[in-house]
Amino acid sequence: MSYEKNNVRVMLTKEEIAEKVSEMGKKLTAEFAGKEVMLIGVLKGSFIFMADLVRAIDLPIQLDFISAKSYSGTTTTGVVNVKMDTHLQIEGKTVLLVEDILDTGKTLSALRETMYSRGAADVKIVTFLDKPARRLVDIEADYSCYTIENRFVVGYGLDCDEQYRNLDYVGELLL
Ligand code: IMP
Ligand code: MG
């Protein structure tokens, strides 16, 4: 589908997002004070949220990225294909997995297992958006900025066929 900004109905403005992400940063700062926290962003969708979030956290954090695709098909959990892996040592760390959107839950559920299998002390899920209506796997976000209805959204890192990631707002893509 071609890029058509007129088909994007604004749901969250740039200003609303900035306010919410700043609040989330403060919350995480309070909750993880004194811990060795590593934020791992799930590429590509999380890159803008991650960039804003880390600047709102006032702690000595480390950060890394991972790129993964969950296998679609009949099985619901466990298998994830890591396309680009993390570089830092995960053992003993409190890992915050940072996602753009928690949808079916397959990706984060598998990645959380991956992090535990690598020796993470604790793994928490931080997602910008949560779309609970679509969940196929029993997983909940530990921290989410917004819960949304079952709509396809783009912008602020989220794409449709790799387009729209650079919008500084989030909108529903009207087809
Ligand atoms: P899941 O939770 O494993 O189904 O995968 C979540 C991934 O699906 C996200 O990281 C997004 O890349 C993609 N996704 C799910 N819902 C949307 C949406 O509304 N807009 C754009 N991407 C989405
Ligand atoms: Mg995507």
C-beta 71 within 6 A of ligand 1: no
Q: How far is Cα 56 from Cα 32, in angstroms, rounded to an integer?
A: 13
Q: Read off the pLDDT of residues 34-56 as tens digits, 9 standing for 90 and up.
A: 998 999 999 999 999 999 999 99
pTM above the 0.85 mark?
yes
Q: What is the pLDDT of residues 136-158, one digit of tens each?
A: 999 999 999 999 999 999 999 99
Which residue type, as a one-letter code, is found at position 134? Answer: R
Nearest Cα neighbor of 53 from 32, 31, 28 is 28
**Which one-letter DSSP state was computed for residue 166?**
T
Per-residue pLDDT, 74: 46
Q: Is the pLDDT of residue 13 over 90?
A: yes
Q: What domains sit in the chain, N to C, each tagged with a CATH number?
A: 14-148 (3.40.50.2020)
What does the alpha-carbon distance between residue 97 and residue 42 come to, in Å, rounded to a whole number?
Answer: 7
Q: Is the CB of 46 under 6 A from ligand 1?
A: no
Decide: 100 in ligand 1 pocket, CB within 6 A.
yes
State whether residue 113 is helix, strand or coil: helix
Q: Which residues pair with 102 in a beta bridge?
A: 130
Is 103 part of the annotated catalytic residue set? yes
